[in-house]
Amino acid sequence: MDEQEAIHGLEGLTNQMLNEVPQTNEYARGVIKEWMEGAKLHLKAIYYKGMRVGEGFRAIADDFPKEGYEFWMTGIHRHIGLCRNVVCGFNPFYRTQKPKP
């Protein structure tokens, strides 16, 4: 997918996770926003270097051997995973639900 599609997908995932956290819990919502912003920076670094990500933020085999790609892809997944752990504190079934596109 192109950079704008990837950013839009990441923003959609962020909003989906934020919807699972009560509005009154500003700390948890702030953590999710901050960590997802970190994922966005990893994503932008990939595209800045002329590489790309696949649907669902999957690695592209042709780009995987390139310098920095594994680090940035791992970073995206790490940030998303940390946020999902926060959401699971409010909705324990979140991890088993199929993510919305």
The amino acid that residue 42 corresponds to is H
Within a domain: 73: yes
What pLDDT, on a 0 to 100 scale, did the predictor assign at position 36? Answer: 97
Within a domain: 31: yes
Which one, of 67, 77, 84, lies nearest residue 42 by Cα?
A: 77
For 8, the domain range is: 3-96
Two tokens, residue 90: 């409010």
Q: What is the pLDDT of residues 10-65, one digit of tens each?
A: 999 999 999 999 999 999 999 999 999 999 999 999 999 999 999 999 999 999 89
Within a domain: 69: yes
Within a domain: 44: yes
Residue located via tokens 């790609």: 69
Within a domain: 43: yes
Within a domain: 101: no
Provide the domain count of the chain: 1
Contact at 8 Å (CB) between 32 and 39?
A: no
pTM of the complete model = 0.86
pLDDT higher than 70, residue 99: no
Within a domain: 72: yes
Within a domain: 91: yes
Which three-class secondary structure state does DSSP give residue 58?
strand
What pLDDT, on a 0 to 100 scale, did the predictor assign at position 95? Answer: 59
Which one, of 2, 14, 83, 81, lies nearest residue 43 by Cα?
A: 2
